[in-house]
Amino acid sequence: MTMIPFTPDTRLSTAAAAVAAALCALSAAPDAFAQKFPSKPLRILVTIGPGSVGDIISRVMADPLSRQMGQPVVVDNRPGAGGNVAAEVAARSPADGYTLFLTTISTHGINPSLYAKLNFDPIKDFAPIILLATNPNMLVVHPSMPVKNVKDLIALARKRPGEITFSSAGSGTSQHMAGELFAMMSGTKLVHVPYKSTPASATAVLSGETMIAFASVPVVLESVKAGRLRSLGVTSAKRMAAVPEMPTLAETGLPGFDVGGWFGFSATGGTPEPIVAQLNGEFRKAIADPGVRQKLMAQGMDLTESSPAEFSAFIRSEIERWRKVVQATGAKVE
């Protein structure tokens, strides 16, 4: 048998091969780790209590996400401070993709300017995943109000400055800012009365506690159809697909008026990009299902979807947009 001499060069070649193999293993490690996600249950932090539109959206999404990823997806309601309580919990969670945050116009649009201090940074502390849906509100009044349309309401509010009360689902919500923007654009003075939810806000108008409300369409639509509330229009720039017969406020007296809620999902800031991208794909797959789409649209949602980068740019634009509105109206919450 011929022996191959074991020279220093041979030793170097063997060592080099070992190093190369180790480097290959290390370079493949992130992919291996990414492929293991998720390996335990996920949770969705929701800024408002059970039964709200945001809560319903989260629960509708949790089911297909759980089936697709093979792990439970739990909805965790943390209401309070216009969504800031849940946002702070999400911001302080591990950046591993297992905590998802229902991101809304309140926490990532209005609150950064409305509140004097936040215990989280809406940009640095979150990794946007997807913008899922928009949700315009409806302006409703009690049938006893002597107004038939937006022009009538503006005329009445100008005659009675500071006497017209409007209810909302809480300070910092899209309903609150819709009222503030309405007053600013119409040259009127309205009095804001915040409640803890949209149903409570709508009930206030039904009972006569407040005179008007900007409310989520699914919550008030049956009352409008039954004649218990009168609709003056929807707050979006375009008519809603769910109620195409309802005019917009822009059509009926306030040109350019456009205020609507929106819902998306984010992870904690610093979550690895491969995990964020994977979650974006899971959400897109879920809302492609006709059954899921039907459930979301039943909540008055106009569905959309975005890349993480597009959602990030959208959030920045919303923060700037509402900064100008808050400054112009003087609205503040301490």
pLDDT attached to residue 288: 95
User: Does residue 329 surpass a pLDDT of 60?
Assistant: yes
**Tens of pLDDT, residues 93-118:** 999 999 999 999 999 999 999 998 89
pLDDT attached to residue 31: 47
More confident residue, 320 or 52: 320
What's the CA gap between 174 and 178, in Å, rounded?
6
More confident residue, 8 or 89: 89
- Please report which confidence band the pLDDT of residue 334 belongs to, taking 50, 70 and 90 as the band edges: low
CA distances from 68 to 39, 245, 276, 322 (A): 13, 37, 16, 36
Other CB atoms within 10 Å distance of the CB of residue 227: 8
pLDDT attached to residue 8: 42
**Tens of pLDDT, residues 63-75:** 999 999 999 999 9
> How would you class 61 by CB atoms within 10 Å of its CB: exposed for 0-12, middle for 13-18, buried for 19 or more?
buried
Hey, what domains does the chain have and what are their CATH numbers? 42-135+260-329 (3.40.190.150), 136-234 (3.40.190.10)
pTM, two decimal places: 0.81
More confident residue, 16 or 286: 286
